[in-house]
Structure 1
């Protein structure tokens, strides 16, 4: 069986028995879902009156760590997400549920933009 070239491996899962299954590509920091996570954490931080500096201190990181996450300059990994959600008393499971069941806003059609 011919497998896809290396450039396509991120889009395909190859099982031992030779079956190829297409998988969704990893979301970028600009994806709707990722922005939902960051916005939920930022909103919780602000509503609780916690500064970026204070949150960063609790994580033993510099303030710029939180700023870069919130500004989209740095990607938040799943372990960091869980730690930050816990520190902010946010139910991380609830945020993930919203991602699974909420659809991104539709982009306006060209005709709607012209009106």
Structure 2
């Protein structure tokens, strides 16, 4: 596949080498989100409770749990901290195939 890339006011053709697939719907990512959701429920927290702890709208938690929004690393760690979870356990979920 060739892409047009602006370069100093002109367009150059470059080849697109290797692309990573989207991870939002990867089975490992879904397992991670299920682990976070189960932990929230186990702790008796509502989405609103967790959102308040994080200082975000409750819709943020809902979108994460519905896999409509992908967590970055810092967000993942903050979510874990808010629920007293060890982030390393979540990473192990991702590394198991």
Tell me the TM-score normalized by structure 1.
Answer: 0.66
- Residues 1:55 and 2:50 aligned together: yes
* Deviations 1:61-101 (CA, angstroms, capped at 9, x unpaired): 1100000010111111110000001111111101112321x
Aligned-pair distance for 1:27?
Answer: 4.5
- Whether the 8 Å CA contact 2:64–2:71 is kept in 1: the answer is yes
Higher relative contact order (CA 8 A, sep 6+): 2
**Deviant stretches of 4+, over 3 Å:** none
Q: Which residue of 2 aligns with 1:66?
A: 61
Aligned-pair distance for 1:47?
Answer: 0.4
Distance 1:26 1:56 in 2: 29
Q: Which residue of 2 aligns with 1:92?
A: 87
Distance 1:90 1:33 in 2: 18
Q: Which runs of 5+ in 2 are unaligned?
A: 1-13
Count of residues in Structure 1 that have an aligned counterpart in Structure 2? 84
Tell me the TM-score normalized by structure 2.
Answer: 0.78
- Whether the 8 Å CA contact 1:57–1:63 is kept in 2: the answer is yes
- Whether the 8 Å CA contact 2:32–2:93 is kept in 1: the answer is no
Q: Which runs of 5+ in 1 are unaligned?
A: 12-24, 104-115
The structure carrying a bigger strand percent of its residues is: 2
